Structure 1
Amino acid sequence: MQRVAKWKGSLIAAVALAGASPAAMALPVTRPAIFPAPTALTLGDGTMTLGRSVVLIAAPGTEPATVALVRDILEKAGVTEITTASRIPATLDRPTIVIGPNSAAIVRDALTRSGASADDQAEGYTLASLASGQGGLITLAGHDGDGLFHAVQTLRQLVARPQIPALVIRDHPAMPIRGTIEGFYGKPWSMEDRTRHLNFLGQMKANTYVYSPKDDPYARDKWREPYPAATLSALGTLVATARANHVNFVYAISPGPSICFSDPADEQTLLRKFDALRGIGVHSFYVALDDIEYQKWNCEADKVAFGPSGAQAAGVAQSKLLNAVQADLAKRDPAAKPLIMVPTEYYDAKESPYKAALRANLDPRIVVQWTGTDVVPPAISVPDAKAATKAFGRKTLLWDNYPVNDYASSAGRLLLAPYAKREAGLSTELTGMLSNPMNQEAPSRVAVAGVLAFGWNDKGYDADRTWHFAARDLAGNDVRATAALLELFDTQHLAPTFGSQPWQEQAPRLKALLDHVREALAHGDEAEQRAAIAELTRKADAIADAPDTIRAGVVDPAFAEQARPWLDAMQLWGRSLRLTAAGLDAAERGNAAASRYFADAGRIAAQAAAVQSIPGAVRFDGPIKIADGVLDRFIADAPGLIAVTARP
């Protein structure tokens, strides 16, 4: 840092001697960090400052809501005067923003002036910025309404910088379907949670949200019954929020536990249920047949219609029902998106009689979901997806069970590791991907941001950088709050599976430091030992202080509330580690007070280990886990790392 400051000072002095002011210096143009990573980004020459006054030109065909969103973004960025115009000013004395579809003449003109061309892919856009004197030209061109909305989301990130670089971004998604499926067991999200989540999906350029909470009785156990009017109205408000965020709201029903596949009355009941949802603006539907018994029929009529129960017969029966639903959807709305289904065998790509029956009988238009090589797969490769394509007779829609935490081995955890171990190139073999999030909506955004960024641009995806972006986004770009969140994320890094081995390691950053402390103490060099203990003390302070920073109000309040017991436990573990460091320091110096420090550390560690999850917030209540197997083990081992020997 000192060298950089010295260099800048010398350069300013040189410019001054030459008769130019420091303000006139040409600062380097740096590549902005945009998430999801764009398909292509090319830097130009120069930068522009947004300032207080801009000209806004909305081309014909631009949705008024999209224009309103641009205005909102500009005002939040400090713009106080927005002048509208119908043509590009002859002199760009302030930033001029042109927004509209690729087909508009003024948009094509603006792109040409910026040396840019339109993106012609579905949901694609071009964003070009041209610096010119005190002003400049920013063009937002969308291939369609969705693409233009995505361009505005990129603008949102650009105006957060002090200066906007001259650049051209041409961008479009790699996967047609990207989003989340609220498909977990336990307490469903509140309508407020869902509203916040839909806004988040819009900002991350997602396009799909599937409403499928397992504990909504009217979608599963009482699927034949109509929704109460108040619930239907609340869902209608949610559908409108999704539409405003260019997110397709998909309603999922789970009739499998009780449906009679051959009964026309049940089929009509299901279609009436969809009709009621269509009345509040839902146009996309889903039939979930996961987590059901398919080795026995729910009614005798199915035995007559399809023969003895079994996997193959179940595949035939399910196909009959789903084909009828797909036909009804197409008849009512020829432009409707295809029906989505999740099969009973959703968790691998092995050949089976059930999959063969679906492959032979299921309408090819119907989208099939698949969770990968396991219910919670440790990794997913392109060959895995190719195997699924072969097994189901179509490219599948990935249901990724990360970061969902509704199963026993995830009890007591927030799953906050980066989204990783999914192979670049999956976009060639999938129709899309949906993340199944946690019961805690705001903490889910950490991993979901990765899922969405991967679905947008799997070949340009960087897991760690997206992880850091998620922290900054939750922290409102506050540096100190971002660092505090990353401390928490590291303590919740472990990602379990249904097997015995997790697919993400536990607390890798903390473990590396604690291993270093162990090695330094074992090595015996006094200077190295003291340096390591000092580093441990700083880490303990960071862990102990992070919860208060996260609660201070800069971080999204929903995150702080939903992570409350984890923050409580983390603070206690940090205090315990601080006392442990004090004990090691005392022992290294031959101070008999070390024993007292270690005893106090053990007492507080016991309190930390006893912190419980919020009752009813998750499927499996129980003690909160913070870097378990790493932090607790070090604190327990610490008294034996240095013998407490009084020195003269």
Structure 2
Amino acid sequence: MPSSRCGSPGGLPPCAGRKPRRSRPEWLTFHRCADGLDQNPRGGPVLLRVVRTVVVAGLFLASAPAATAAAPEPPVVTPAPQSMESNGRAVRVPHQVGLVLGSGVDESSSELLRATLSRAGAREIVDRPAGLTVVAGLITDERVRGSLRAVGGEVPAQPRPEGYSLAARGGLVVLAGNDGDGVYYAAQTLRQLASPGRIAAVKVVDHPAMALRGSIEGFYGAPWSHADRLDQLAFYGDVKANTYIYTPKDDVYLRERWREPYPPGDLARLRELVTAAARHHVEFTYAVSPGLSICYSDPADLRSLRDKLASLYAQGTRSFYVALDDISYTRWNCAGDQDKYGPPGREAAGRAQAELLNAVQRGYLDTVEGAKPLQMVPTEYSDVADSAYKRVLRETLDERIVVQWTGTDVVPPSISVADARKAAEVWGRKVFLWDNYPVNDFGQTTGRLLLAPYDKREAGLHAALSGIVLNPMNQAAPSKVALFGGAAFAWNDTGYDAARTWRAAASYLAAGDPRVTEALLAFFDTQHLAPTFGEVPWQPQAPVLKAKVDAVRAQPGGRPLRDLAAYADLLAAAPERIRAGVPDPAFSAQAKPWLDALDLWGAALQSTVEGLRTGDQGAFARAKELAAEAAKIRTIPGTTRPQGPVRVADGVLDTFIAEAPNLPRA
């Protein structure tokens, strides 16, 4: 067969014996061969075929009526994109869809795109143009960029890391990533734009406001299971979080026995986590905590620390962290430190820790390929007051080392931009927020799930922070409620809406089922209280339920009582709806004591409403019995630290049921 290769913008020669025809617009130049075969510069026909389709789509769009003011509102996407606007009528998804992939599309992004198109109704996905064509690749690819412009998309003047542009209109959808992460995040946005039979026609230009976003498994008590961690890493990909810091306090090989190597089985599981994290575009960060026993002046301990990090490097880890929190710096662990640094104290501790951390950064991480800058949490991590300890670290710590900070307290009620700027001043660099929410390993959280929205963090923090990770609960699956919000805030803090994102988190857990979403939100409300280390919580308990019972107190009948009756029915039905309707079985398993208690509390509230409606004292008595039974339910042994009786809308629901018999009847 004669060889007749087409000319192209990439420099391939024109077809012999035929003058190439140029198609418009100019940036979509391609050549058609005499035998009809289009070749791309990489040797395959696919991309130039899609360019021809783009031309056709562009001509079709040019002849279509101009968009009117009645263009549909874009759907809710979380995290909220930096810019998203309607681009006309929704794109119909036919049975056959073309998926054309350029450079920068990894296997995870490709699989996500295929799954999204299949759920939207595509029965056949082909690698050539079709009735609907989806183009994905790097924005530096001229063909991807040209396709983006053809459907009204915007090419950013200064592409940001992890950012992307997306546009959909007519028969074409284009995803242009600023890098490989950006392609993946564009695919995650497309997942939310797609619904059965259609894709929302929008234009998006997006990038994260903060470079580090995710979670730090840094709580006391039972660590997450391996299955929990794998599930969490997939979840982080969905919500565009890119950081998971592994440092459970009860992993003895990173804390009490940090000098010892991991057993082979443990090391294999860590390797699996590293691999899974990369698949979901998440950085697995290993954090070792040597502070309980390290001798800073002993070269053998420095070697042990390097050996521990090297053992994780061999498993694929490239991000490392030294945790120096929750230790005493008023005593040394060895006589050699006294000899080298003098009497223990803030300044001496600062000098010892700075030397250790600099040695890890310069003596180890700088010598291995691909290692990220070292991260650390200092012993003084929860305030903005200057000190001799902070001064020494500020003046001597390698400027590349990332410093974590928990806010103005261990569990701060709020975090302002001014707080973060002050922290940056005392540490001499932007700080990395370790946010102790929704962690439930301290006394004030006994018997609680913390399911309120991620809130009270000021818009604009991206200017003062290098990132945010949340410290979650022992219960991994319920922690997704807060983690969903934290990831959305870190991606776009100025566009963050706490209530909207909370509802989106419920819908995510419910796989979009509105009845299950409604049940989850009612359940979340009963677990809304967020304690601090003091007596005053930073989020109130059960605000929706409280408003309804307060209305009945003010008017014990009529519309307020009817509203409360309907809500009591919802609370009573919510546990079974959640058990049956949330696809992730871990959520119901880990929330089991609270769901079991809500079964009883919901029935008790129903009986209370019946008593208020009829005056039946037997109904009040049944409510009292059900409440007493609910109060006996305790947390699952061996999980949450501390253990105790579970709490469901405490201070609101129990108080109202107890006082209801004494309320006047309408």
The structure 1 residue matched to 2:131, chosen from 91, 94, 106, is 94
| Corresponding position of 1:370 | 405
CA distance in 1, matches of 2:631, 2:421: 44
Matched, 1:128 2:171: no
Q: Is the 8 A contact 1:219 1:254 kept in 2?
A: yes
Matched, 1:530 2:558: yes
**1:191-340, aligned counterparts within 5 Å?**
191-333=226-368, 335-340=370-375
CA distance in 2, matches of 1:505, 1:162: 42
The structure 1 residue matched to 2:609, chosen from 564, 578, 581, is 581
Task: Provide structure 2 residue ranges, at least 5 long, that are not aligned to the other structure.
Answer: 1-67
By how many angstroms is 1:26 displaced?
12
Aligned identity (percent) is 53
The structure 2 residue matched to 1:610, chosen from 625, 632, 636, is 632
CA distance in 2, matches of 1:564, 1:239: 30
| Corresponding position of 1:114 | 151
Matched, 1:62 2:110: no
By how many angstroms is 1:50 displaced?
1.5
Listed one character per residue, the Cα deviations across residues 264-292 of structure 1 (whole Å, up to 9, x for unaligned) are 00000000011110111001100000000
2:231 aligned counterpart, secondary structure: helix
The aligned amino acid for 1:43 is: S
1:218 aligned counterpart, secondary structure: coil
| Corresponding position of 2:486 | 451
**1:179-198, aligned counterparts within 5 Å?**
179-198=214-233
CA distance in 1, matches of 2:328, 2:308: 23
Q: Is the 8 A contact 1:97 1:139 kept in 2?
A: yes
Matched, 1:382 2:417: yes
CA distance in 2, matches of 1:162, 1:79: 8
Task: Provide structure 1 residue ranges, at least 5 long, that are not aligned to the other structure.
Answer: 1-24, 522-528, 588-593
**1:391-402, aligned counterparts within 5 Å?**
391-402=426-437
1:493 aligned counterpart, secondary structure: coil
CA distance in 2, matches of 1:550, 1:213: 29
Listed one character per residue, the Cα deviations across residues 173-209 of structure 1 (whole Å, up to 9, x for unaligned) are 0001111000000000001000110000001111110
The structure 1 residue matched to 2:533, chosen from 461, 476, 498, is 498
TM-score, normalised relative to structure 2: 0.88
The aligned amino acid for 1:121 is: R
The structure 2 residue matched to 1:75, chosen from 94, 98, 118, is 118
By how many angstroms is 1:162 displaced?
4.9
By how many angstroms is 1:43 displaced?
1.1
CA distance in 2, matches of 1:26, 1:54: 30
The structure 2 residue matched to 1:152, chosen from 180, 187, 196, is 187
Matched, 1:104 2:110: no
By how many angstroms is 1:530 displaced?
3.4
Q: Is the 8 A contact 1:118 1:125 kept in 2?
A: no
| Corresponding position of 2:591 | 563
Q: Which moved more, 1:336-345 or 1:74-83?
A: 74-83
CA distance in 2, matches of 1:642, 1:167: 55
2:640 aligned counterpart, secondary structure: coil
Matched, 1:514 2:549: yes
The aligned amino acid for 1:46 is: R
Matched, 1:137 2:181: no
Q: Is the 8 A contact 2:120 2:198 kept in 1?
A: no
By how many angstroms is 1:629 displaced?
0.4
Matched, 1:348 2:376: no
CA distance in 2, matches of 1:556, 1:111: 37
2:569 aligned counterpart, secondary structure: helix
1:45 aligned counterpart, secondary structure: coil
CA distance in 2, matches of 1:46, 1:643: 54
Q: Is the 8 A contact 1:329 1:336 kept in 2?
A: no
Q: Which moved more, 1:69-78 or 1:176-185?
A: 69-78
| Corresponding position of 1:3 | none
Q: Is the 8 A contact 1:453 1:466 kept in 2?
A: yes
Tell me: CA distance 1:162–1:638, structure 2 relative to 1, closer, same or farther (3 Å): farther
Q: Is the 8 A contact 1:118 1:143 kept in 2?
A: no
Q: Is the 8 A contact 1:373 1:384 kept in 2?
A: yes
CA distance in 1, matches of 2:359, 2:327: 21
**1:401-420, aligned counterparts within 5 Å?**
401-420=436-455
Q: Which moved more, 1:204-213 or 1:39-48?
A: 39-48
CA distance in 1, matches of 2:484, 2:321: 24
By how many angstroms is 1:555 displaced?
4.0
1:336 aligned counterpart, secondary structure: coil
Q: CA RMSD in A?
A: 1.5
Listed one character per residue, the Cα deviations across residues 533-572 of structure 1 (whole Å, up to 9, x for unaligned) are 2222211111111001001144421111110000000110
CA distance in 2, matches of 1:554, 1:269: 45
The structure 2 residue matched to 1:36, chosen from 79, 89, 96, is 79
By how many angstroms is 1:161 displaced?
5.9
Listed one character per residue, the Cα deviations across residues 589-642 of structure 1 (whole Å, up to 9, x for unaligned) are xxxxx2211111111101111110000111111100000000000000011113
CA distance in 2, matches of 1:440, 1:169: 35
By how many angstroms is 1:331 displaced?
2.7
CA distance in 1, matches of 2:452, 2:661: 31
2:214 aligned counterpart, secondary structure: strand
Q: Is the 8 A contact 1:530 1:585 kept in 2?
A: no
Tell me: CA distance 1:306–1:354, structure 2 relative to 1, closer, same or farther (3 Å): same
By how many angstroms is 1:643 displaced?
6.9
| Corresponding position of 1:178 | 213
Q: Is the 8 A contact 2:120 2:196 kept in 1?
A: no
Q: Is the 8 A contact 1:184 1:438 kept in 2?
A: yes
Listed one character per residue, the Cα deviations across residues 377-413 of structure 1 (whole Å, up to 9, x for unaligned) are 0000000001100111111000000011011101111
Listed one character per residue, the Cα deviations across residues 18-56 of structure 1 (whole Å, up to 9, x for unaligned) are xxxxxxx99852211100000001212222122321011
Q: Is the 8 A contact 1:481 1:555 kept in 2?
A: no
CA distance in 2, matches of 1:241, 1:171: 25
The aligned amino acid for 1:129 is: A
2:457 aligned counterpart, secondary structure: coil
Q: Which moved more, 1:404-413 or 1:70-79?
A: 70-79
Matched, 1:595 2:595: no
CA distance in 2, matches of 1:442, 1:355: 37
Tell me: CA distance 1:321–1:50, structure 2 relative to 1, closer, same or farther (3 Å): same
CA distance in 2, matches of 1:192, 1:273: 24
Q: Is the 8 A contact 1:50 1:159 kept in 2?
A: no
CA distance in 1, matches of 2:423, 2:70: 51
The aligned amino acid for 1:552 is: A
CA distance in 2, matches of 1:546, 1:35: 25
Q: Is the 8 A contact 2:96 2:124 kept in 1?
A: yes
TM-score, normalised relative to structure 1: 0.90
Q: Is the 8 A contact 2:104 2:183 kept in 1?
A: no
2:253 aligned counterpart, secondary structure: helix
2:432 aligned counterpart, secondary structure: strand
Q: Is the 8 A contact 1:128 1:168 kept in 2?
A: yes
The aligned amino acid for 1:239 is: V
The structure 2 residue matched to 1:53, chosen from 69, 72, 96, is 96
Q: Is the 8 A contact 2:108 2:280 kept in 1?
A: no
1:46 aligned counterpart, secondary structure: coil
CA distance in 1, matches of 2:432, 2:269: 28
CA distance in 1, matches of 2:241, 2:657: 43
